[in-house]
Amino acid sequence: MDDILELHHRTIFYSIERGIKEYRKFAQKRLNSVLTDITIDQALVLLYVIKQPQLSQSEIGSLTFKDNASVTRMIELLIKNNYLSRYINQEDRRTYNILPTHKGKVAVKKIMEITELNRKRVLKNITNKELEQTKRLLNKLIVNCNETDHGQHI
């Protein structure tokens, strides 16, 4: 059991963390080559807000793995940086209608283009079969994480 650490860098968790971090760094750099004042997280929220305006903030949060607080603050920043504007929704005054500015519309196009390029480039020489295998493993892992305990530890 004392080799927990020697093993750590060979675990699947290490590989997954490393993979996602490298991808995020890559994607942020590439995004900054066309837009300088936006993060990749904000960019994804921006796409959802504009392309699927029927979604509530909390639904966007679920789709992007962010909690409500984060979505609120990211939208604030997008408004501050002039990508979006926002008005209270008169049908349900708890929610908002969020609209893109001109800058926001232009940005969306650039984001979609660069995202498509990024995906192609990062998935170069990876087959669909490999992608499916990995998704299956990740799904098993997710299921195992969420299984209720039968006994022993909580």
Partner DNA sequence: TCAATATGTTTGCTATATCAAATATAGTTT
Partner DNA sequence: AAACTATATTTGATATAGCAAACATATTGA
Residue 106 contact partner, candidates its own copies, DNA, none, CB within 5 to 8 A by sort of partner: none
Please identify which residue in 33, 82, 95, 97 interacts with its own copies, judged by CB under 8 A: 33
Whole-number minimum distance, CB 126 to DNA, in Å?
22
Q: What is the SS3 assignment for 15-45?
A: HHHHHHHHHHHHHHHHHHCCCCCCCHHHHHH
Kindly report the number of other CB atoms within 10 A of residue 104's CB atom.
20
Binding site for DNA (CB under 7 A): 21, 24-25, 28, 39, 41-42, 56-59, 65-75, 77, 92-96
**DSSP 3-state assignment of 99?**
strand
Q: Which is nearer to DNA, 128 or 148 (CB)?
A: 148
Say if CB 71 and CB 61 are below 8 A apart.
yes
Whole-number minimum distance, CB 127 to DNA, in Å?
28
Q: Which is nearer to DNA, 3 or 92 (CB)?
A: 92
Cα 26 from Cα 5, distance rounded (Å): 28
